[in-house]
Amino acid sequence: MKIPFGTITITETSKRLIMDALEKKRVSGGLYVREFEKRFADIVGTAEAVAVSTGTDADALALAVLYDFGATRGDEIIVPALSFVATGNAVLQAGFTPVFVDVDPMTLNIDPGKIEAAITPRTRAIMPVHLMGKPAAMDAINSIASRHKLLVVEDAAEAHGARYRGRNAGALGGLGAFSLYVAHIITTIEGGIVTTDNREYAEILRSLRSHGRACKCETCMLNTSGAYCDKRFQYGDQHDIRFMFERIGFSAKMNELEAAVGIGHLELYQDILSRRRENLYYFLEHLRPFEPVLRTIRKEPYEEIGPHALPLVIGESARFTRDELAGHLEQAGIDTRTLFSSMPTQCPGFAFLGHQIGRFPVAEYVGERGLHIGVHQDIGPREREFVMQTIEKFLEKHV
């Protein structure tokens, strides 16, 4: 049996919309991008959603909003030490300095008890990551941010469908940044999107994704209307607003073909979410007897986990390595991925920041002994049972 890490569904609606865009030769961002944005905002429960080219760009642009409110290059953003490298990369790409905080071993998310010690006069935001779709401790994080007047930007890349105390991930801070990569619950193949209730933030985001243009209304920016815009020369005949640039920006727009894939996926969203959540919760329940040798996250009563993938961490008392377990799963046809790394101490690209091994012990432990496997919608009861039988057989030999 072969169980890949991820899957993708291209719907008939998506195919029809793609062909329509190709036939009309309107393939840059337009009506479909705007429709996707509105529908995504409705799902998350925010007033606005601004589509961009990748999840990393979603993080970076969300942070770059800070420049309109007094931030300067080199200011600090607090992030968890354990995450996919896109989190740290985005902070640097936005022109800020990442300040890393170790994670809670039980949740794999940033440890709120260690955040305040990392705050300095140059701190501008906290960017919690909902790793593997498990919501971070947002009550504590928002409370800290409020006391220190910091923006909270959720890295909700993997958290489609996650809920925390009745609210959706992406609506728990000032801004939420999602990845729409092919392995995620909602995908545009590549792509990202930023959600917010703040209309001013949304306008700035629309400017940032298009080189920092002064023209940032949703109609003109996405070519959703061919009509003449009466704001075009509002600064005088020699000043076309479309070619005035108010801020340092990015080139990070989504196109119509990607949006078409996303619109089709939104039709299946609840079904995909339900199937993936059933798979994840099955695994979480059936893995409990193997703790502490093999542990995973837990679902709390006040949350729903966004079912991105199943994390597994080898316990300290285990007599086997991550590579041995991963090799056993791979030989059985079960695709695996390592559970990321401690960005500041285990990712060579961040070595210039000067952090030494041992500074983030929990993140480093997970980076050495963690892995994750898929819970996607094409996995059914037969596949779930096969995965558990495969893990059980391995543990019988090694415990």
What does the pLDDT look like over 276-308, one tens digit per residue?
A: 999 999 999 999 999 999 999 999 999 999 999
- Domain residue limits, the chain: 12-260, 269-398
Query: What is the chain's mean pLDDT, rounded?
Result: 94
CATH label, 269-398, candidates 3.30.465.10, 1.10.1740.10, 3.90.1150.10, 3.40.50.300: 3.90.1150.10
* Contact status, residue 149 vs residue 119, Cβ threshold 8 Å: no
Q: Which two tokens stand for residue 345?
A: 């101490």
Hey, what CATH topology would domain 12-260 get?
A: Aspartate Aminotransferase; domain 2 (3.40.640)
pLDDT for the residue numbered 318: 95
Tell me the whole-structure pTM to 2 decimals: 0.94
- Is 184 one of the annotated active-site residues of the chain? yes
* Contact status, residue 266 vs residue 36, Cβ threshold 8 Å: yes
pLDDT for the residue numbered 113: 98
pLDDT for the residue numbered 267: 95
32/22 Cα distance (integer angstroms): 12
61/50 Cα distance (integer angstroms): 10
364/111 Cα distance (integer angstroms): 14
Q: Which two tokens stand for residue 367?
A: 């980076």
Q: Which two tokens stand for residue 354?
A: 């000067």
Task: Count other Cβ atoms within 10 Å, centred on residue 313.
Answer: 22
- Its sign, for the CA torsion 215, 218, 223, 228, is negative
Edge-to-edge strand order for the sheet containing 294-295? 294-295, 309-314, 370-374, 336-338
39/263 Cα distance (integer angstroms): 8
DSSP for residue 363: H
Edge-to-edge strand order for the sheet containing 303-304? 167-168, 163-164, 303-304
Digit-coded pLDDT (tens) for 200-220: 999 999 999 999 987 766 655
Catalytic residue among 130, 160, 184, 308: 184
215/243 Cα distance (integer angstroms): 8
Q: Which residue has the tokens 């996926």?
A: 265
Give me the percent of the chain exceeding a pLDDT of 90: 89
pLDDT for the residue numbered 235: 58
* Contact status, residue 385 vs residue 5, Cβ threshold 8 Å: no
Digit-coded pLDDT (tens) for 213-246: 877 666 555 555 555 555 655 555 556 666 788 8
* Contact status, residue 291 vs residue 316, Cβ threshold 8 Å: no
Task: Count other Cβ atoms within 10 Å, centred on residue 319.
Answer: 10
What is the mean pLDDT of the segment spanning 80-101? 98
